[in-house]
Amino acid sequence: MQIRSAPSISGAVVAVRGSVVDVRFEGGVPPIRTLLRSGASSEIALEVMAHLDAERVRCIALTPTQGLARGMPVTDTGAPLQAPVGPGILSRMFDVFGQAIDRQAPPEVSWRSVHRAPPALAQRSTRSEVFETGIKMIDVLMPLERGGKAGLFGGAGVGKTVLLTEMIHNMVGQHAGVSIFCGIGERCREGEELYRDMKAAGVLDNMVMVFGQMNEPPGARFRVGHAALTMAEYFRDDTHRDVLLLVDNIFRFIQAGMEISGMLGQMPSRLGYQPTMGTELSQLEERIANTERGAITSIQTVYVPADDFTDPAAVHTFSHLSASIVLSRKRASEGLYPAIDPLQSSSRMATPGVVGERHYALAQAIRRTLAQYADLKDIIAMLGLEQLSVADRKVVARARRLERFLTQPFFTTEQFSGLKGRLVSLADALDGCERILNDEFADVPERALYMIGAIDEARRKTAPAAAAEAAS
């Protein structure tokens, strides 16, 4: 089979089935992943996915195919899909083709292919450093890694996007490098709100946003993550800056691949997922890496279908992450926000050699206390708290106070909750947990520890009530 790399206008559409388009070329076919253009003003973009024979290729449309018909000419661009790079992309918003969608003039940029190999093992850095978020539960029990990958796992409506938005609010301002937000198959409204919030916070100058929304074809949703990573790699490798890459939602990337696989007629694997899911996810995730020149730190939300953590999409994503933050519907129903399950969540940074002996010992003590409380809940439900031993009642009291102390009011939900957001340092969070474990707050009502920042706020909340009681 003759593979042609030079651009030409010798192609013609021979079949259109939704987003799948077959094109015939004279004198050789373009390589896999080549971008083709068709339509009256070349507005329809096609990506070559397979060679059918010596003259025909099968393509996936990255744009809607309305108006495309058999016999229409197809232009071979001679290159794969490309993303804009350069200082000009900062503070801007783009689609998968690198076109500005923020109603401003097109920026001055250069272009690079979105298909790039991950950095070689010899170029990677092995330095381990904690990345603070200002959220107590995460910093104490599942610290994030600078240059690592963290996943926020949860079903529908448990607060994944809210938690990601709060992390953006807390970290983008103090993050010295560049922040890139990649929206894969999520709501247009969330992107527009994020743009306004970042502009109001004054951090848009060091931020880039790339969107492939849920109303776009699966081809666009499947490639928008690669486009965002190409921009991140430019800042890491060319300008030697650290990059914070925020992805919402990585499950939509897998879902787009599943739709493409089905349209191409591939035999599905378990639960309808594409047989190439592991490879496709690895090609994306392995490009997120730490090198000696800079680091890409990634925080990704992962939708879990029907709250089933054995779903292949969740299982495959778990294997790529350095920290897994699991959100629980049960904790959300109890009003414990952020609704993170501390016993299911984990981080490979939570070791004495990285976070220190005191932090590690405290985190283990907190997990142990919460696990004991979880085991005692059935007994409490059947027999009541009074039937427990004195030691067990103390464990329950500590665990309930820890659960409430590890809640936190968010800046991004101030208008809904009426509570002012709190940013809590790791030192204050550890100090509060240690004092609760030492029974220093055994005389303080549980509700005083709910939705506060540092632990001393609990004393200030109970002081007016104590003074009123003394006066009466």
The residues annotated as belonging to the active site are 160, 186-187
317: alpha, beta or left? (left if phi > 0; alpha if psi -120 to 50): alpha
Distance CA 421, CA 431 (A): 20
Q: Alpha helix (H) ranges present in 115-245?
A: 136-141, 160-172, 188-201, 218-237
Of 44, 89, 34, the C-alpha closest to 228 is: 89
Distance CA 254, CA 268 (A): 13
Distance CA 11, CA 37 (A): 10
Tokens of 108: 């001055």
3-state DSSP call for residue 263? helix
Q: Provide the residue type at 96 as one letter.
A: V
Q: Provide the residue type at 185 as one letter.
A: G
Strands 93-94 and 207-212: parallel
Report yes or no: 290 and 127 within 8 Å, Cβ to Cβ: yes
3-state DSSP call for residue 327? strand
Report yes or no: 250 and 46 within 8 Å, Cβ to Cβ: no
H/E run at residue 458: helix 456-471
Distance CA 93, CA 228 (A): 11
Distance CA 153, CA 151 (A): 6
357-383 helix and 390-405 helix, angle to the nearest 10 degrees: 120
Distance CA 197, CA 184 (A): 19
Enumerate helices (H) and strands (E) in the chain, giving the number of each. Answer: 14, 18
Tally the residues of the chain.
472
Q: Provide the residue type at 37 as one letter.
A: R
Within its chain, how far is the Cα of 205 from the centroid? Answer: 21
